[in-house]
Amino acid sequence: MHFEHTEEERLFRDAVREFVKAEVSPHAARWEEEEQFPWDTWRQLAELGVCGVSLPSEYGGGGGGKTLMCIATEELSMASAGLATAYLVGCGIALDGICKHGTEAQKEEYVSRCARGDIAFFALTEPEGGSDLGPMQTRYRPTTDGYSLTGTKTFISNGEEAAFGVVFATKNPGAGHRGVSAFIVNKDTPGFSVGKKERKTGQHCNSTTELVMDDCLLPEKSMLGKEGHGVRIALEAIDKSRVAVAAQALGIARAAYDESVRYAKERQAFGKPLGQLQSIQWMIADMTTELEAARLLTYSAASLIDEGQLAIRESAMAKLYASEAAGRICHNAVQIFGGYGYTRDAPVERFSRDQRVTEIYEGTSEMQRWAIARQVLKMK
Ligand SMILES: Cc1cc2nc3c(=O)[nH]c(=O)nc-3n(C[C@H](O)[C@H](O)[C@H](O)COP(=O)(O)OP(=O)(O)OC[C@H]3O[C@@H](n4cnc5c(N)ncnc54)[C@H](O)[C@@H]3O)c2cc1C
């Protein structure tokens, strides 16, 4: 299969690429060191229409699909994977459920806020389980005019930066998946607070935090979708969104690859450029091949989603392959840089730290393999 972006996609990619070159690349390493979220850059992304590009145009979005979201994610990830995580969570997975299951009023409010630059979170994981939703402990109980939420979510991207987000909670931990519902929660709701901030391996410019709810009172209108449909809403969002993580891995891998090719041409060993040594050539050949395979899987899955297909197997294959290939590419990149590759002066060191989590969040590699096998074998 030959896969080419359309004219519209190429124009969008070129615009984002130019923006990233001018406004992200020169500053990304500093944002990481200072652990600062780049608000000014984010606001510029919103003004350019990147934040809302894949959101429905009736509510202020750009009306584009997953492919455009993946393009923006890939380009941002070339320079700042942390900024890309803020984007793919804040404008992607957190909004997918709202776009599909939200009421008119919810879409009117939250989609337009996101397109204007408000960041969202998606709060599913709890201390007792990420892959397995069974032990969910965050509880909700009906009140006279709404709901009360109590519990703690953990590892939530955008925990500090977000203004609102989607929280999953159960009415009765014994009721299994049928007990879980989804809620849209504004962060300034009394009883809602940001807990511990994780000290991560990479992606330092984007926060990952606990979210704590202590008798957090929500109006009735804050339930997203039907009562008891929370797990379905969460899984649909993850199925639709994980291809963006593939695009993130692709962007990080491309950055590591570009640096490696440049260095292999410049750096001399035994009187010739590294690129003339066969061991380095083999690494470059493997990296080139894996990058291309990751690209094809990623954009073919995104295009199937844009055609209206669920593409669960294809998205899982894209995320599994792109994230693990990015791991191998970043590993080789550090190797090609030798000692410099193990220092903070070489960008590949940062890329290899930023890549690792693409094999973990939005479903670990093991869960992707499970999803692929289930689709193939048609087993529960
Ligand atoms: C930086 C970062 C950002 C994150 N952002 C978010 C966010 O915004 N929202 C959110 O809700 N969550 C988020 N997460 C959580 C993330 O989705 C979970 O960490 C992930 O799903 C794995 O869950 P766990 O950490 O509980 O690991 P576990 O589920 O405890 O898994 C541990 C290990 O066991 C394996 N395993 C578990 N079950 C199986 C099985 N059935 N078969 C085979 N292997 C299995 C896993 O693959 C893994 O290797 C984030 C995590 C990180 C690190």
User: Which CATH number fits the domain that encloses residue 64?
Assistant: 1.10.540.10
Residue pLDDT, tens place only, 345-369: 999 999 999 999 999 999 999 999 9
Cα within 13 Å of Cα(19), Cβ side:
24
For residues 93 and 114, the answer to whether their CB atoms sit within 8 Å is no
Shared domain check, 157 and 59:
no
Ligand 1 close to Cβ of residue 123 (< 6 A)? yes
- Closest-CA residue, ligand 1 atom 27, reads 130
Full domain range(s) for residue 308: 240-377
Shared domain check, 197 and 136:
yes
- At 129 the pLDDT is 83
b/e 151-168 (16+ beta carbons within 10 angstroms → b): bbbbbbbbbbbbbbbbbb
For residues 185 and 159, the answer to whether their CB atoms sit within 8 Å is no
Residue 2 lies in a domain: no
Q: Which atom of ligand 1 is nearest to the CA of 153?
A: 11
Question: How far is residue 331's CA from residue 333's CA, in Å, rounded to a whole number?
Answer: 5
Q: Which of 183, 204, 231 is the last residue of a domain?
A: 231
Segment 28-46 mean pLDDT:
98
Residue 149 lies in a domain: yes
Shared domain check, 131 and 213:
yes
- At 246 the pLDDT is 98
Residue 1 lies in a domain: no
Calculate how far, in angstroms, residue 50's C-alpha sits from the geometric centre of ligand 1: 28
Q: Which atom of ligand 1 is nearest to the CA of 370?
A: 42
Shared domain check, 372 and 244:
yes
Q: Which atom of ligand 1 is nearest to the CA of 157?
A: 8
Calculate how far, in angstroms, residue 130's C-alpha sits from the geometric centre of ligand 1: 4
Shared domain check, 72 and 26:
yes
Segment 179-193 mean pLDDT:
98
Question: Closest by alpha carbon to 245, among 196, 203, 190?
Answer: 203
- At 295 the pLDDT is 97
Q: Which atom of ligand 1 is nearest to the CA of 203?
A: 1
Shared domain check, 362 and 257:
yes
Residue pLDDT, tens place only, 250-289: 999 999 999 999 999 999 999 999 999 999 999 999 999 9
DSSP secondary structure letters along 271-315: TEEGGGSHHHHHHHHHHHHHHHHHHHHHHHHHHHHHTT---HHHH
Residue 156 lies in a domain: yes
CATH code for position 365? 1.20.140.10
Q: Which of 63, 97, 119 is the last residue of a domain?
A: 119
Residue 357 lies in a domain: yes
Calculate how far, in angstroms, residue 365's C-alpha sits from the geometric centre of ligand 1: 10
Shared domain check, 105 and 36:
yes
Active centre residues (catalytic): 362
Calculate how far, in angstroms, residue 277's C-alpha sits from the geometric centre of ligand 1: 40
Ligand 1 close to Cβ of residue 130 (< 6 A)? yes
Shared domain check, 352 and 264:
yes
Ligand 1 close to Cβ of residue 131 (< 6 A)? yes
Ligand 1 pocket test: pick from 137, 360, 369, 380 the residue with the most ligand atoms within 8 Å of its Cβ. 360
Shared domain check, 189 and 84:
no
Calculate how far, in angstroms, residue 200's C-alpha sits from the geometric centre of ligand 1: 14
Ligand 1 close to Cβ of residue 122 (< 6 A)? yes
Q: Which of 61, 90, 119 is the last residue of a domain?
A: 119
Ligand 1 pocket test: pick from 91, 119, 131, 157 the residue with the most ligand atoms within 8 Å of its Cβ. 131
- At 190 the pLDDT is 97
Shared domain check, 131 and 34:
no
Residue pLDDT, tens place only, 284-326: 999 999 999 999 999 999 999 999 999 999 999 999 999 999 9
Kindly tell me the burial class for residue 139, based on how many C-beta atoms sit within 10 Å of its own C-beta (0-12, 13-18, 19 or more). middle
Using DSSP's 3-state secondary structure scheme, residue 164 falls into strand
Question: How far is residue 30's CA from residue 283's CA, in Å, rounded to a whole number?
Answer: 30
Shared domain check, 260 and 373:
yes
Calculate how far, in angstroms, residue 253's C-alpha sits from the geometric centre of ligand 1: 22
Number of folded domains in the chain?
A: 3
Ligand 1 close to Cβ of residue 276 (< 6 A)? no
- At 380 the pLDDT is 55
Ligand 1 close to Cβ of residue 157 (< 6 A)? yes
Q: What is the pTM of this model?
A: 0.97
- At 178 the pLDDT is 92
Calculate how far, in angstroms, residue 70's C-alpha sits from the geometric centre of ligand 1: 22
CATH code for position 130? 2.40.110.10
Ligand 1 close to Cβ of residue 364 (< 6 A)? yes
Q: Is the pLDDT of residue 1 over 70?
A: no
Ligand 1 close to Cβ of residue 360 (< 6 A)? yes
Shared domain check, 269 and 159:
no
